[in-house]
Amino acid sequence: MTATTDPIHVLHVDDEPDFADLTAIHLEREDDRISVRTGTSADEGLELLADADVDCIVSDYDMPRMNGLEFLEAVREKHADLPFILYTGKGSEEVASEAISAGVTDYLQKDTSGDQYTLLANRIRNAVEQTRANRRATTHHRINKVVRRINETLAWASTQRDIDEGVCEIISTAEPYQFAWIGEQDPDSETIDSRATAGIGNEYVEQILVTSDESRTGQGPTGRAVRNGELAVMQNIPDDPRYEPWREPALEMGFKSSAAVPLVYDDTMYGVLNVYADRTHAFDDREQRLLATLGETIAHAAHRVRLQQRYTDQYRTLFEEAPVMIVFTRSVKGEPIVEDCNRAFAEALGYTFEELRETPLREYYTDPSTEKLLREDGYHRALAGEFTREQRTLVTRDGDEMLTILRAAPRRDPNGEIIGTHALFLDITDEQQVQELERQNERLDEFTSVVSHDLRNPLNVAKGRVGLAQSECDSDHLDDTAGALGRMETLIDDLLTLAREGSSVETTETVDLATTADGCWGNVETPTATLVVESERNLRADRSRLQQLLENLFRNAVEHGSEDVTVTIGDLDDGFYVEDDGPGIAENEREQVFESGYSTSQRGTGFGLSIVREIVEAHGWNIRVTESVEGGARFEVTDVEVASE
């Protein structure tokens, strides 16, 4: 065991004052780390124990009113692990046996030899160092447990309140802490007001005034931490004069020491965490380092939820300002119920959001459209991701009918379960609304540009922040978050491509299919896959869109096949094919693969083949899925204009 240089505070209780004083002198001479306080009775010893830090008790056995073992029993009621050495002149096997049974740390009989004090000092050192080692191990375990629980709470927190309440609750239930609260500075009054509390001190926070200025109420740990941006501790609340403004209510609650941790990330303060313990000097160097690091972690989580709230607000603005009518439904017994809608939908029908919310969507359909919605499986197809574009007629509050084009897709909860649909309605009531349709298309282009900018920029920030966090700590939560952000980026790319590929191709050029295929293959992650080109044909096509078509077909083959899949591109009489030797596509799924959001791969977004179909239709071509010679997937694109040699 490694000896430490920390002082050792000994309480020696003996009903012979002269002997107690002599023992104290010898022990302090034996080891300059040892300091001794003496008492002449067990009652006095208990009083001294309550008022001072004690690392070890040395007690006589035969004392009036309360003997040494009775004294031990009283000590153990509040100090279960405090070293207790029975140092007695009454030596017998009976006393030794009784002492050991009672749980004394050590037993030593007084004698007149010169080395008894050397022996006693050695016993004291061993007992204290063993106890301190055990406490360090216990503290290490406790700290790791607290950090783990707080990290789990922060990972799942979605609001500032989740963070504040979760952190305070965890800390207040971990010994030796009794109470925790998180405060926030009022910049005008410089007072620090409570934002969340947990533990036994709610009344304490209500009674005290804490400020961040240089006045008396700003000299405690909380005020100093906010003012300086650094952790501040008060190790001895009963005696430290700086704690005078709050001492009385603190002692009533049993608080003996406290620490204040500024929650600072990227030079921004997100509050101050205050922690109270039931003993003096509870915050050693290790504890302070833990709390300081914890403060940074909590502040980082607060920064994250503020960013999330900002993105949510931006999303809500985009949702409200979208140039098309949008409705989110929730499936209740197989029927769509309006859960949310944007302003365009509410205003077009002449209702308020509050009137529309929680009502059946069919209430705003004509009878024929209701038939398609409920009795022709329109809603079930939307829930299954099999819905394309169909006409629906809505009825306004005034009874007017509105012909719309509807596009619907499944809506999922955070666990991936389908809970309803996203529905987009485009008003195409009459020819007059066609100059309007063009304007809406223009606004849709503007909208997609805004989505690309306002979502991609914060997404890049989030990816960068996660990257920094991954360089600082190793966490599965961060890896999962990075994966989710990457998927979000892919979804944005595919959605924007899908939104822009709907228009028809106006001009074409002669494109070498083989050269284009080779170039596209280099743009797809295909580390061990193989491309075989069996074509020397030139096509008339929009070069950029043809490249997107081929890249999406190549990517589909790699994502759904094995790592060493072989992809072949060749000629048809009036077009070309792309096939692979992967697992293929079941016959009953071949029509579904072109639907938006449909994918059997966890890596896929479900939009790749939908984009392929949009490009094919924009050229006036046709596409079908069949089986390759090797049993894989084969996509045949026909009605393609072949360029003359």
pLDDT digits (tens, 9 = 90+) for 300-358: 999 988 888 887 777 777 778 787 899 999 999 889 999 999 999 999 999 999 999 99
Tell whether the model's pLDDT for residue 167 goes beyond 80: yes
Q: What is the mean pLDDT of residues 509-536?
A: 89
The confidence score (pLDDT) of residue 451 equals 59
69-87 confidence digits (pLDDT tens): 999 999 998 888 899 999 8
The confidence score (pLDDT) of residue 638 equals 93
The confidence score (pLDDT) of residue 548 equals 83
The confidence score (pLDDT) of residue 504 equals 65
Q: Which residues contact 114 (CB under 8 A, 6 or more apart)?
A: none
Range of weakest confidence among 152-161, 165-174, 189-198, 228-237: 152-161
Instruction: Say how far apart CA 193 and CA 272 lie, in whole Å.
Output: 10
DSSP 473-538: ---HHHHHHHHHHHHHHHHHHHHHHHHHS-SPP---EEEEHHHHHHHHHTTS--SS-EEEEE---E
Evaluate whether 298 touches 154 at the Cβ level (below 8 Å).
yes
Tell whether the model's pLDDT for residue 113 goes beyond 80: no
The pLDDT mean for the chain works out to 85
Residue 220 is classified by DSSP as S
Tell whether the model's pLDDT for residue 21 goes beyond 80: yes
Name the CATH superfamily for 509-638: Histidine kinase-like ATPase, C-terminal domain (3.30.565.10)
Confidence of residue 525 (pLDDT cuts 50, 70, 90): confident
The confidence score (pLDDT) of residue 321 equals 78
Tell whether the model's pLDDT for residue 528 goes beyond 50: yes
The confidence score (pLDDT) of residue 591 equals 76
The confidence score (pLDDT) of residue 606 equals 52
Tell whether the model's pLDDT for residue 431 goes beyond 60: no
Tell whether the model's pLDDT for residue 497 goes beyond 70: no
Instruction: Say how far apart CA 184 and CA 194 lie, in whole Å.
Output: 7
265-312 confidence digits (pLDDT tens): 988 999 999 999 988 888 888 889 889 999 999 999 999 888 888 877
Residues in a beta bridge with 424: 326, 407
Helix, strand, coil content of the chain in percent (nearest 5): 45, 25, 30
Confidence of residue 598 (pLDDT cuts 50, 70, 90): very low
Sequence letter at residue 70? E
Q: Please determine, looking at this structure, whether the domain spanning 8-136 carries the CATH number 3.20.20.70.
A: no
Tell whether the model's pLDDT for residue 499 goes beyond 70: no
367-395 confidence digits (pLDDT tens): 988 888 887 788 888 888 887 678 889 99
- Which pair of structure tokens corresponds to residue 46? 């208990």
Class for the domain spanning 159-302: alpha beta
- Which pair of structure tokens corresponds to residue 229? 């941006």
Cα distances (Å, whole numbers) of residue 56 to 124, 129, 213, 217, 432 = 7, 10, 42, 37, 94
DSSP 228-295: HSS-EEES-TTT-GGGGGGHHHHHHHT--EEEEEEEEETTEEEEEEEEEESSTT---HHHHHHHHHHH
- CATH code for the part of the protein at 322-429: 3.30.450.20
The confidence score (pLDDT) of residue 604 equals 47
Tell whether the model's pLDDT for residue 544 goes beyond 60: yes
Tell whether the model's pLDDT for residue 8 goes beyond 90: yes
Tell whether the model's pLDDT for residue 61 goes beyond 60: yes
User: Pairing state of beta strands 84-88 and 509-512?
Assistant: unpaired
The confidence score (pLDDT) of residue 347 equals 92
- Judge whether 159-302 and 322-429 match in fold: yes
The confidence score (pLDDT) of residue 457 equals 63
138-154 confidence digits (pLDDT tens): 777 777 788 889 988 88
pTM, entire model: 0.47
Residue 3 is classified by DSSP as -
The confidence score (pLDDT) of residue 597 equals 45
Count of Cβ atoms closer than 10 Å to residue 276 Cβ:
28
Q: Which residues contact 329 (CB under 8 A, 6 or more apart)?
A: 336, 337, 338, 339, 361, 411, 420, 421, 423
Tell whether the model's pLDDT for residue 603 goes beyond 60: no
The confidence score (pLDDT) of residue 437 equals 56
User: Pairing state of beta strands 192-199 and 622-627?
Assistant: unpaired
196-226 confidence digits (pLDDT tens): 999 998 889 999 999 999 999 999 999 999 9
Q: Where are the domains of the chain?
A: 8-136, 159-302, 322-429, 447-500, 509-638
